[in-house]
Structure 1
Amino acid sequence: IDQTELAKRIKKKDKMKFNTKVIHGGQHHDPSTGAVMPPVYQTSTFVQTSPGKPLNPDYEYSRAANPTRSALENALASIENGTRGLAFSSGLAATDCILRSFKAGDEIIAMDDLYGGTYRMFTRIYKDSGIKFHFVDMNDLEKFKSLINENTKLVWVETPTNPLMKLADIQEIAKITKEKKILFAVDNTFATPYLQKPLDLGADIVMHSATKYLGGHSDVIAGALIVKDEALGDQLHFQQFATGATLGPMDSFLVLRGIKTLHLRVQRHCENGVKVVEFLSNHPKIKTVYFPGLPSHPYHEIAKKQMSGFGGMVSFTFVSGKKEEAVNFLERLNVFTLAESLGGVESLANHPALMTHASIPEDKRKEIGITDDLVRLSVGIEDAEDLIADLMQALA
């Protein structure tokens, strides 16, 4: 490595490689004590030297800004190659903040396969707002383009999707949204910035349920937005400040701590995911395995194009097609834990139709392929042999 260039890169932390960024990117030692990790500033307010003159102009009231949350937000911006990160009380709070940018008469085009909570927010919470939502297969670009009109203000994409692991070509969609001057938001929860960077591919906003891989330990509820455009960042921050969906200092600390091992954890999630998929793909009781790393996956080429790995999320169906077999399988698991959520160090198993996607009407679930025998696995970082042994005994 050229030593001069190396020195420049290390001095300017946003030029560091990813594995270094998760630990150092956007981070600084505490100036008052030299603490390596940012302290948990468990305070609601900050002293002022005179009315309207805070001791530190950056901190007046913790809903607007808190030093621990600021440290997390700087890290989020760094690892997603953005200019501004915002930390929220949940992923849905982050999504809601974006939607508050729109008014009656505006239209939003969204991917047809979405996290159940996102679909519920779009179709029930905002149903009387006057905002019109369209749901479409984002791989049918002609169909997608036919829905765009002068009222279209936002395109919302999950890739890979929850729970069917569908993908969308971020770069191709970004070309269209930029030409039409439409905001483009990508839910990057499943891929994480370790595997995929939507801002680099042309998206305007990245959303995370930081509860999942960013936190990584199933001990916090949090959300995040990251943008490249500073004016958009200021607008979203004002909406967050004015509505109050901010992340507390202790939760901010936990997510920041989780980010520091993101690269190590996701690498193991990917390794174990491949092994679990290989086992399931060869089991006589399993009909279809949904995993973007499989050459047979319909969007495998898109995954290779825009992801550096295929993640640890796997869904599958049974040859019998029976809900009862899926439920019986889930009840018999010992190492995998039957629970909602994903992305923690422990392996989790979920029945989308009865759990995470129960809020989606049954006819809509069937239309997009969420069948009653579908099981979703979040493959953790345990020993892969133990995970496969658990799946084997549950299937038996």
Structure 2
Amino acid sequence: MKQKGLHTRLIHGAFDRKSQHGSLSHPIYQTSTYVFDNAAQGEARFAGEEGGYIYSRLGNPTVTELEAKLADAEGAEEAVAFASGMGAVSAVLMHLLSSGDHVIVSEGIYGCTYGFLEMMETKYGIEYDLIQMNQIEDVSRAVKPNTKAVYVETPINPTMKLVDLEMVIRTAEDAGLWTVVDNTFCSPYLQRPIEMGADFVVHSATKYISGHGDVIAGAACGPAEEMQVIRMTTQKDVGAVLGPMDAWLLLRGLKTLPLRMDRHCSNAAYIFEKLSQEDGIERIVYPGDPDFPQYDLAQRQMAQPGGLISFEIKGGKRAAQAFMDELNVVQTAVSLGDAESLIQHPASMTHSVVPPDKRLDMGITDSMLRLSAGLENPEDIWDDLKQALDRVTDQTAGELQTK
């Protein structure tokens, strides 16, 4: 039978309406525990001899449906949902790494992932190296006898630098290493690393998968055997479990993911064209820019360039923050992928935990801003950005004249 398209599967997949009394929407199983028919059934379920639910930290029907849809969207054997993106990241890394092991990491990762790696190194002796992954040699040179995995974020937050997934995955396979890809910035609609050969994909489902700014959640996808171990160890025992209401909100978000991603991407492309014509902008990094150093890779690896743009304003940190304070439609907030356009200052916000010298090595300057294009009318987003830029440019010019 011909497989249905992704748009259709995200709406209808993994849901048997007949067994749910004909409900059009997904039911919310808002329960902490489940009643057994008798003592023998309870024993059988705890022993793994009989399927069924026991306790919602170990499984919940609403969450199970979400996991099935996420696995299908990513082309994975199985998915596990978590209470946050960092719950997913930390669970996968704790599963793969033991004390004394080493992991190779793409430079410029999310600030909290960096903080988690620092903690793992300090407390448990798990080593990591942040490296550029431009060539096969970059990865192969970083491999040590105790290396167990390669962790990749692409596009890298917030510099938008890309990592050639096929190259890294091939190199990792040759060295016998696991590959983990943070796919948050793309969502499975724009990029599916597992179909390229990656072992695991992690998401902050708070972002594009939710799409409405009302959920904190995460997801990890990968081989069924490995995901089952993660489910019954690092998730069950550490406890970053997603609740049924949040799972229901994510199921709702998945229904419109393709439509939203198309709009995010088209709005970002429109804003890029406008920003590129402004004298007050020093630099723009956007995978859809024909002058972007990895433009060809973006065209090959991603279905569209994405909904994020990073840019630098002339005048440094002071001008960047003044620009943010002049905005009205665009909201100053961390996160991304919401209906609202969001802007943040990475050096003082999401990446403030990273030491200044390492931030600069990553390409994160004090004048850099990261914009998540929302779903508003593109002209309204641009009008807001333009008036703020004009005000900051006028203020800077006035200060220079005073001096």
Runs of 4+ in 1 over 4 A off after TM superposition: none
Within the candidate set 305, 313, 317, 2:312 is matched to 317
Q: What is the CA–CA distance in structure 2 between the aligned matches of 1:77 and 1:29, rounded to whole Å?
A: 20
Q: Give the structure-1-normalised TM-score.
A: 0.94
Q: Quote the residue 2:278 is aligned against.
A: 283
* Percent identity of equivalent pairs: 42
Counterpart AA for 1:283: E
Within the candidate set 382, 385, 400, 1:391 is matched to 385
Q: Which deviations, in whole Å up to 9, do the C-alpha atoms of 1:2-46 show, x marking residues without a partner?
A: xxxxxx12xxxxx22111121123332261412122211110100
Q: Does 1:77 align with 2:71?
A: yes
Within the candidate set 27, 34, 37, 1:46 is matched to 34
How far off is 1:366 after superposition? 1.3
Q: What is the CA–CA distance in structure 2 between the aligned matches of 1:207 and 1:32, rounded to whole Å?
A: 30
Q: Which deviations, in whole Å up to 9, do the C-alpha atoms of 1:124-182 show, x marking residues without a partner?
A: 35422111001101113212111113311111001111100010111111111122221
Within the candidate set 135, 142, 146, 1:147 is matched to 142
Q: Which deviations, in whole Å up to 9, do the C-alpha atoms of 1:179-233 show, x marking residues without a partner?
A: 2221101000001111100000110000000000000000000000011x22112
Secondary structure, in 3 states, of the residue corresponding to 1:127? helix
8 Å contact 1:27–1:74 — kept in the other structure?
no
8 Å contact 1:83–1:230 — kept in the other structure?
yes
Q: Give the structure-2-normalised TM-score.
A: 0.92
How far off is 1:359 after superposition? 0.8
Within the candidate set 38, 53, 60, 1:59 is matched to 53
Q: Does 1:304 align with 2:299?
A: yes
Q: What is the CA–CA distance in structure 1 between the aligned matches of 2:206 and 2:285, rounded to whole Å?
A: 23
Secondary structure, in 3 states, of the residue corresponding to 2:195? coil
Q: Does 1:221 align with 2:216?
A: yes
How far off is 1:300 after superposition? 1.1
Q: Does 1:264 align with 2:259?
A: yes
Structure 2: tracts of 5 or more residues without a match:
391-403
Within the candidate set 87, 93, 107, 1:93 is matched to 87
Within the candidate set 352, 364, 371, 2:365 is matched to 371
Q: What is the CA–CA distance in structure 2 between the aligned matches of 1:88 and 1:177, rounded to whole Å?
A: 26
Q: Quote the residue 1:344 is aligned against.
A: 338
Q: Which deviations, in whole Å up to 9, do the C-alpha atoms of 1:91-150 show, x marking residues without a partner?
A: 001011012222111100001111111111111354221110011011132121111133
Q: What is the CA–CA distance in structure 2 between the aligned matches of 1:339 and 1:230, rounded to whole Å?
A: 36
Q: Greater share of helix residues, 1 or 2?
A: 2
Aligned length: 382
Tell me which moved more, 311-320 or 46-55.
Answer: 46-55
How far off is 1:302 after superposition? 1.1
Tell me which moved more, 336-345 or 136-145.
Answer: 136-145
Q: Quote the residue 2:19 is aligned against.
A: 31
Q: Quote the residue 1:254 is aligned against.
A: 249
Q: Does 1:20 align with 2:32?
A: no
Within the candidate set 207, 216, 219, 2:202 is matched to 207
How far off is 1:52 after superposition? 5.0
Secondary structure, in 3 states, of the residue corresponding to 1:133? strand
How far off is 1:299 after superposition? 1.3
Q: Quote the residue 2:350 is aligned against.
A: 356
Q: What is the CA–CA distance in structure 2 between the aligned matches of 1:120 and 1:248, rounded to whole Å?
A: 25
How far off is 1:58 after superposition? 2.2
8 Å contact 2:85–2:203 — kept in the other structure?
yes
Counterpart AA for 1:23: I
Q: What is the CA–CA distance in structure 1 between the aligned matches of 2:237 and 2:221, rounded to whole Å?
A: 18
8 Å contact 2:102–2:148 — kept in the other structure?
yes
Structure 1: tracts of 5 or more residues without a match:
1-7, 10-14
Counterpart AA for 1:76: L
Q: Does 1:137 align with 2:125?
A: no
Q: Which deviations, in whole Å up to 9, do the C-alpha atoms of 1:35-83 show, x marking residues without a partner?
A: 1222111101001122251598320110110001001101101111111
Secondary structure, in 3 states, of the residue corresponding to 2:311? strand
8 Å contact 1:30–1:38 — kept in the other structure?
no
Q: What is the CA–CA distance in structure 1 between the aligned matches of 2:20 and 2:255, rounded to whole Å?
A: 22
Within the candidate set 170, 175, 178, 2:170 is matched to 175
CA, structure 1 residues 348+52, in 2 after alignment: closer, same or farther (shift >3 Å)?
farther
8 Å contact 1:122–1:133 — kept in the other structure?
yes
Q: CA RMSD in A?
A: 1.3
CA, structure 1 residues 30+217, in 2 after alignment: closer, same or farther (shift >3 Å)?
farther
How far off is 1:267 after superposition? 0.2
